[in-house]
Amino acid sequence: MAKKIVIDAGHGGSDPGTSANGIVEKDLTLKISDYLHRRFDELGIPNEMTRTGDTTLGPSERPKKAQSFYGNSNDVILISNHINAGGGDGAEVIYSLRNSDKLSKMIADEFIKSGQNVRKYYQRRLPSDPSKDYYYILRDTPNNESIIVEYGFADSKGDDPSLLKNNWEDLAEAVVRAVASYAGVSYDAGSTGANTYIVKSGDTLWSIARKFGVSVDEIKSKNNLSSNSLKLNQILLIPSAEEVPGDIYIVQAGDSLWSISNRYGLTVDELKRMNNLISNNLSIGQRLVVKGNVPSEPMDENTYVVKSGDSLYQIARTFGVSVDELMNYNNLTSNLLSVGQVLRIPNSNGSQKVYTVKSGDNLYSIARENNTSVSEIMNVNNLSSNLLSIGQKLIIP
């Protein structure tokens, strides 16, 4: 059954929603909703918006407006866009009691790939009647698959305000990817792959090059730049795939850095250096350079991608640093971690060396290469077996 989308820009008109750090909820939710509308149009998914301007929609009017387009059929996905408040940090997705968590989980996973941590995806019940949804936009849109997407906290002391102001399009595109996959629609980057980029606060040539899978020199050459200095709102031309030396690979569903590097006869480290990657996360539709010269500019710091079961204590112990050092270095305000979260690792002042496991490695070969023993490596890393995984970090005594 083909899916249809209703996009609800939260608040509006006389109801501004939350306001903090230069973010006004009603304005940002409308920008996000406009973006989703354009992208769903490009993907050929029927969609409508509850408001297209600064319009007031009350609690009784909004659900009726949402169901005025496609009715109360269960093939309709209602996405109500919001910005959170309350001092937390990270995205949340709330789904209706009548639906499964599948779509919400897919959105959460795509948020993580886009660099936003996820607090939770969940259901909330009305205290006076636990059989009903707490939020009226879910409760009063029967049969639709209705969700509320909270993209982050406007009043966060973490990185949410920066993400919401500077990277909201990336977060919106994460929702597009998840919905397209859920609806069984072939995804492509559409106009998000345009050959121009507007410089935002905090951007560097290095970060922009990494975003588009090209090198700093290629961007400088394309724009006749003589230095690495950028100006806010500066428009940069981005080299197209045809202009990038060597072969380009477009990331597909199920791909990993290991599978792609193995296909092209590269190591994971080589592939990351060629594309200026600092984590193992990939996005469907991402362009990767898979041949050509390896950029000489080194990654400036160690990074670690959080896996299921990880804790700050375990990660700190692995890298020979303290939990406090790890938290301070990453501006963390709590011990909570999200799977896929990228942590920067401060340099250890000790004598320990960190080794990243590659294809073909085993404990014996690593121990021999580093003039130590298998038992010493197992002891210092608290290993209970000889099994290793590619990309695993080992402390070398």
User: Which pLDDT tens digit goes with each residue over 312-360?
Assistant: 888 887 777 888 888 877 767 778 877 667 677 776 554 457 777 777 7
Q: With left for phi above 0 and alpha for psi between -120 and 50, is residue 213 left, alpha or beta?
A: left
Residue 126 has pLDDT above 80, yes or no: yes
Q: CA-to-CA distance for 37 and 78, rounded, in angstroms?
A: 12
pLDDT in tens, 21-33: 999 999 999 999 9
Task: Indicate the pLDDT class of residue 48, thresholds 50, 70 and 90.
Answer: very high
Rounded mean pLDDT, 219-236: 76
Residue 243 has pLDDT above 70, yes or no: no
pLDDT on residue 153: 97
pLDDT on residue 27: 95
Q: Taking each helix axis from N to C terminus, what angle separates 25-42 and 168-183, rounded to the nearest 10 degrees? A: 40
Rounded mean pLDDT, 133-160: 96
Q: CB burial class (10 A; 0-12, 13-18, 19+) of residue 342?
A: middle
Mean pLDDT check: name the lowest of 31-35, 369-373, 383-387: 383-387
Q: What is the CA radius of gyration of the chain?
A: 23
Coil/strand/helix, residue 31: helix
Query: Which of 345, 336, 344 minimizes the C-alpha distance to 90?
Result: 336
Task: Indicate the pLDDT class of residue 260, thresholds 50, 70 and 90.
Answer: confident
pLDDT on residue 144: 98
Task: Indicate the pLDDT class of residue 227, thresholds 50, 70 and 90.
Answer: confident
pLDDT on residue 295: 36
Question: Cα angle vertex 391, ends 390, 392, to 5°?
Answer: 95
Percent of the chain with pLDDT over 90: 41
pLDDT on residue 114: 80
Q: Is the pTM of this model over 0.75?
A: no
Residue 20 has pLDDT above 70, yes or no: yes
Q: Are 25 and 11 in contact (CB under 8 A)?
A: yes
Q: For residue 257, report the phi and psi dihedrals to the nearest 5 degrees.
A: -60, -35
Rounded mean pLDDT, 180-199: 74
Q: Which two tokens stand for residue 47?
A: 């969609």
pLDDT on residue 253: 63
Q: Are 252 and 285 in contact (CB under 8 A)?
A: no
**More reliable by pLDDT, 241 or 259:** 259
Task: Indicate the pLDDT class of residue 310, thresholds 50, 70 and 90.
Answer: confident
What is the chain's mean pLDDT, rounded? 82
Q: Are 33 and 62 in contact (CB under 8 A)?
A: no
β partners of residue 288:
249
* Domains, the chain, ordered by start: 4-183 (3.40.630.40), 190-289 (3.10.350.10), 302-396 (3.10.350.10)
Q: CA-to-CA distance for 163 and 157, rounded, in angstroms?
A: 12
Query: Which of 360, 357, 325, 365 minimizes the C-alpha distance to 343?
Result: 325
CA 19, distance to chain mean position in Å, is: 24
Q: Which residue's structure tokens are 């996009």?
A: 7
Q: Are 255 and 271 in contact (CB under 8 A)?
A: no
Positive or negative, the Cα torsion across 91, 111, 176, 167?
A: positive
pLDDT on residue 284: 67
Rounded mean pLDDT, 250-279: 75
Q: Which two tokens stand for residue 280?
A: 């193992």
Query: Which of 301, 17, 396, 331 minimizes the C-alpha distance to 157?
Result: 331
pLDDT in tens, 158-189: 989 999 998 898 899 999 999 999 999 988 76
Residue 297 has pLDDT above 70, yes or no: no
Q: CA-to-CA distance for 303 and 48, rounded, in angstroms?
A: 41
Q: Which two tokens stand for residue 202?
A: 């905090």
β partners of residue 343:
304
**More reliable by pLDDT, 255 or 146:** 146
CB atoms within 10 A of CB 334: 10
- Amino acid symbol at 259: S
Task: Indicate the pLDDT class of residue 302, thresholds 50, 70 and 90.
Answer: low
pLDDT on residue 90: 94
pLDDT in tens, 200-222: 777 788 777 767 767 777 788 77
